[in-house]
C-alpha cells in the first residue's frame, strides 16, 4: 500500500483511486477536528469536500517537505474559515467538547498526562479558549483566527495575551 506522499504523486498524475485512498485515510479525523471547530454539520461536510477538491487540484504543487496530514489540515481549516466568513449567521465554534462525549481514552490522557494544563484551560472563559484553540492548536495566524472567530485582530492578540497570563498563573 502506498504511503501518503506516493499517493499525492499519483493524484498529481490524475489517479482517482489514489485520491479515494487518501480520502479514506484522512477524511474521518479531518471531519472530527473540523466538527470540534464548527457546530454546523453541513458546513463541516462542505469544508471536507472542498479540502479534497483542493488536494486534487493542488497535488502537483505539493513540495513534499512535510506530513501530508498536516498539509490537508491546513487546507481544511482554511476552507472552514472561508465558509464561515461567507455565512455570518452561523455560530463558528462548537465550543469546548463535553467530557461525557469524550472517549474514555481521551479522558484518561487528559487526567493523567495533562491534568494541570487541562485544569488551567478549563478555567479560561469560552472566548479565551476559542482564541487558544485557533492560534495554538490549529496554528492559525492572528488574521486567520480573527476571521474564524469574527473578531478584530487586536482582540485576538489581547485575548491570547490574557490567556497566556492566566495559564502562567495557574501552572506556576
Sign of the four-CA dihedral 89, 87, 76, 43: positive
For residue 162, what pLDDT is reported? Answer: 94
Tell me what the mean pLDDT of segment 143-149 comes to.
Answer: 82
For residue 21, what pLDDT is reported? Answer: 95
Specify whether the CB–CB gap between 93 and 37 falls below 8 A. yes
User: What is the CB neighbour count within 10 angstroms for residue 21?
Assistant: 17
Does residue 91 surpass a pLDDT of 70?
no
Higher local confidence (pLDDT), 75 or 84: 75
Residue with cell 500500500: 1
Stated pTM of the model: 0.59
φ, ψ dihedrals at 20, nearest 5°: -60, -40
The burial of 15, by beta-carbon neighbours within 10 Å (0-12 exposed, 13-18 middle, 19 or more buried), is given as middle
pLDDT, tens digit, 9 for 90 and up, residues 28-55: 999 988 888 888 899 999 999 999 999 9
For residue 93, what pLDDT is reported? Answer: 45
As a whole number of angstroms, the distance between CA 45 and CA 57 comes to: 19
| The residue count for the chain | 172
Task: Give, to the nearest 10 degrees, the angle between helix 115-122 and helix 153-171.
Answer: 130
Higher local confidence (pLDDT), 49 or 103: 49
What confidence category does residue 146 fall into, taking pLDDT thresholds of 50, 70 and 90? Answer: confident
As a whole number of angstroms, the distance between CA 114 and CA 123 comes to: 14
Domains and CATH numbers, the chain: 1-94 (1.10.1740.10), 95-172 (1.10.10.10)
- Tell me the average pLDDT of the chain: 81
What confidence category does residue 92 fall into, taking pLDDT thresholds of 50, 70 and 90? Answer: very low
Tell me what the mean pLDDT of segment 91-104 comes to.
Answer: 48
Tell me what the mean pLDDT of segment 99-110 comes to.
Answer: 53
Amino acid at each position: 500500500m502506498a504511503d501518503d506522499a506516493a499517493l499525492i504523486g499519483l493524484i498529481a498524475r490524475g489517479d482517482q483511486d489514489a485520491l479515494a485512498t487518501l480520502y479514506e485515510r484522512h477524511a474521518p479525523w479531518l471531519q472530527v477536528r473540523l466538527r470540534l471547530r464548527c457546530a454546523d454539520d453541513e458546513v463541516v461536510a462542505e469544508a471536507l469536500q472542498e479540502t479534497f477538491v483542493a488536494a486534487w487540484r493542488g497535488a502537483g504543487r505539493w513540495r513534499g517537505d512535510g506530513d501530508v496530514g498536516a498539509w490537508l489540515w491546513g487546507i481544511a481549516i482554511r476552507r472552514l474559515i472561508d465558509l464561515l466568513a461567507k455565512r455570518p449567521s452561523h455560530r463558528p465554534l462548537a465550543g469546548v467538547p463535553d467530557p461525557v462525549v469524550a472517549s474514555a481514552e481521551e479522558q484518561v490522557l487528559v487526567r493523567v498526562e495533562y491534568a494541570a494544563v487541562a485544569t488551567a484551560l478549563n478555567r479560561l472563559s469560552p472566548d479565551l479558549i476559542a482564541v487558544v484553540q485557533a492560534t495554538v492548536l490549529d496554528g492559525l495566524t492572528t488574521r486567520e483566527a480573527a476571521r474564524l472567530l469574527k473578531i478584530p485582530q487586536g482582540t485576538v492578540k489581547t485575548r491570547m495575551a490574557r490567556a497566556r497570563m492566566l495559564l502562567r498563573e495557574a501552572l506556576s
